[in-house]
Amino acid sequence: MADGGGFTEHGSVHSRQALFQYEHFSAETCTLMNCLGYGPQIRGARINAYKAYGRYLTAITRSQPTFITTGSKAEGLTGYLNGDTFITTGSKAEGITCPLESDIDLIRVTDTVICLEDGVDSSTIPAEINILRSCRRMSYHGHCILLLERYGTKIPIHMDDALCDDGYGRTLLSSDLYVNELLKRKPYEGEVQHERAGPSTPATIAGKWHRDLVLALHFYCPSILTRWATRPRNWPEPNIVQEVLSLGAFVTPVGYKGSAYEHVEWRMCFNSGENVLANNLNDTQVKLYILLKMVKKDVLKPSKKEVTSFTVKNIVLWIAENNPQSLFHDRSLLHWLHKGLDALRVAIIKLELPYYMIPERNLLAGCDLDYKQQRTWIATINDMIDEGPRVILRLPKIRQALIAHPEPLRRFSSWKIELEMLELICQNRIEKAVLFQAARARQKAILREVRQRMISEGGLVNDLDTMFDRILM
């Protein structure tokens, strides 16, 4: 198979038959994935809804003051701050999961603090902003220590309480202390907080909505972003590159695992820019990403996050950058799935995968993948590649959709997508009572129709709430 996703023009009869088989199964898989809720229309609706959700949380937070320290630190005066921004990230922001299918990943950025890389002039930054300077000399690639350069006139109290002395007369911001300040917060009504997981503080709301919240700080790092922007590439387009540059970066409170400075280190990330990149993948590239996520979850089944969704997303971003975009279409999906599996196999063999934004950072460094698990995964991926287009039968969602009769599948898809579209309306327009009530009434009508259909076909019938939750998982 040529790198372009097809066979040579003068290939053998066997090659032409294999090409037809690959293209047929690829197109059929794309159609099935649309029915399962991975088509462009529903993905776009999710993306817009979760952008609005971030704006809604930002507005709510800014209307509820947060304690700060004002003036010089010695004065110890307290005041209020309205300045945090919420950004939805991960699979929700990428539009590839249903409401109850995965956690909602949120970043909460403190807007009165900025971190600067070495060599950036700080003289023009407004007086109310607190300035931290990144120090990367003692940290692994993509990580840094933050040294206090200047207090602003508005000092967030959770930052103030996380400052400490480094033993050499300098003040640094401890990542551990910063996260622990958030854990002191009293849970909201209906919220159950869970144990800290790296930089995030997971919680469950109303018993079924799972949320991962990560605190972050703005990070101005023009040299890092310029190195990324000036790489030779097939993708993304120059205007998208400029948009990613304009969104900047963040640092989140988590150090490099095993580092002597882990408790005070921060990790550089580009969540807003990565949202833009993921949302500018074409339809085939998005479906490749989803299939690789399914492989990770349903076939490899990592127990300690040795391989994550972030791992496979980086594989897809590299594939998109390094290949002409005309080669990605619905008839080449399974070719690219095999390319993605091969890239994942090589990464597992070498325990090495460069981070798309900072290639010097190895995403599999310190992943705790033991030798036995490594050998098992390599053998499994080898088998999957050898299976050709039948590899998709290993994925439960795809296999069940293939087995289902076309008409029941189309009917279920119609119900599922309409229910979710209505839920997205309810999620972000709850203040419009008439629209909210109409959406809820339509949802109940759909659920009653589903229940009636199940009764007529002799199926097991649940209450409407349970049916709703299962459909949107």
Q: For position 115, which CATH number holds? A: 3.30.460
- Cβ proximity of 371 and 41 under 8 Å: no
8 falls in which pLDDT band (50, 70, 90)?
very low
CA distance 112 to 444: 45
Highest mean pLDDT among 2-6, 286-290, 439-443, 448-452: 286-290
Q: What is the reported pTM?
A: 0.87
- The model's pLDDT over 57-84, given as tens digits with 9 standing for 90+, comes to 888 877 665 544 444 343 333 333 456 8
User: What is the residue-wise DSSP string for 181-244?
Assistant: HHHTSPPPTTEEE---BTTEEEEEETTTEEEEEEEEEEEE-HHHHHHHHTS--SSS-HHHHHHH
Q: Residues 6 or more apart from 435 whose CB is under 8 A from it?
A: 425, 429
CA distance 319 to 199: 28
Q: Does 30 map to a domain?
A: no
Q: Does 195 map to a domain?
A: yes
Instruction: Provide the residue range defining the domain that includes 203.
Output: 55-280
More confident residue, 152 or 208: 152
Q: Does 2 map to a domain?
A: no
pLDDT of residue 292: 98
pLDDT of residue 431: 52
- The model's pLDDT over 359-403, given as tens digits with 9 standing for 90+, comes to 999 999 988 899 999 999 999 999 999 999 999 999 999 998 888
Q: Does 32 map to a domain?
A: no
Q: Does 461 map to a domain?
A: no
More confident residue, 420 or 176: 176
Q: Determine the angle formed by the axes of helices 40-62 and 406-428, rounding to 10 degrees.
A: 20
* Among 402, 384, 388, CA closest to 295: 384
pLDDT of residue 281: 98
Element (H, E) at 146: strand 143-150
Q: Does 150 map to a domain?
A: yes
- The model's pLDDT over 87-136, given as tens digits with 9 standing for 90+, comes to 999 999 999 998 888 889 999 999 999 999 999 999 999 999 999 999 98
- Cβ proximity of 363 and 355 under 8 Å: yes
Copy the structure tokens of residue 465.
């709430």
Q: Is the pLDDT of residue 289 over 80?
A: yes
Q: Does 294 map to a domain?
A: no
- Residue entry with tokens 């300035």: 131
Three-state secondary structure call for residue 308: coil
Average the pLDDT over 273-283 and give the result. Answer: 97
What does the chain come to in residues?
473
Copy the structure tokens of residue 446.
């759909």
Average the pLDDT over 455-463 and give the result. Answer: 70
Average the pLDDT over 250-272 and give the result. Answer: 94
Three-state secondary structure call for residue 164: strand
pLDDT of residue 12: 54
- Cβ proximity of 79 and 71 under 8 Å: no
pLDDT of residue 67: 46
pLDDT of residue 126: 94
Q: Is the pLDDT of residue 159 over 80?
A: yes
- The model's pLDDT over 413-440, given as tens digits with 9 standing for 90+, comes to 888 888 888 888 777 655 566 677 888 8
The total number of structural domains that make up the chain: 1
User: pLDDT > 90: what percent of the chain?
Assistant: 57
Q: Does 175 map to a domain?
A: yes
